[in-house]
Amino acid sequence: MHAVIERYRIDPARAEDAIRRVERAVADAVAGQVGFVEYEVIRAGEGTLLTVLVFETREQVIRMDQLVEQFAIVGSDAGIGIAPEWAVEGEVVVHRVNEHPA
C-alpha cells in the first residue's frame, strides 16, 4: 500500500463549507476508484486540514492525489478557502485497523 499525507490551509471562516465540499466532491469520488483503501480528512487546528489518502499501488495513489490537488486549486480559485501547503508520499509499512470500533 502507498499513501499521501497532505496539509491544507483553510480559511477558518469557511472551514465547514470547505469540509462539506471535500466530503461531497472528493471523498466519494476517491472511494469509488480501483485500488482505494482509505481516505481521511483531519481538522488539525484552526485553519489546517490534513488528509491521508491510501491506495494499493504507488501509481494509483499518485494519480488520485493529482486529482485531489486539482480540486484544492479549483476550490481555492472558487473562493472556498482551501490551499495545499505540503505533501509527502510513501509506502505504508505498518497498518492496523480496528474492524469493530466501540
* pLDDT tens string 28-87: 888 888 999 999 999 998 889 999 999 999 999 888 877 777 766 555 545 666 778 888
Residue 57 DSSP symbol: S
Lowest-pLDDT choice from 10-14, 64-68, 89-93: 64-68
- Angle in degrees, CA 19, 44, 29, rounded to 5: 35
Task: Give me the residues paired with residue 50 across strands.
Answer: 7, 42
- Residue 69 burial (CB count, 10 A): 15
The band of 102, judged by pLDDT with boundaries at 50, 70 and 90, is confident
Where are the chain's structural domains? 2-91
Give the separation between CA 8 and CA 75, rounded to whole angstroms: 12
Give the separation between CA 19 and CA 10, rounded to whole angstroms: 9
* 79: its cell numbers: 473562493
CATH 3.40.50.300 fits 2-91, yes or no: no
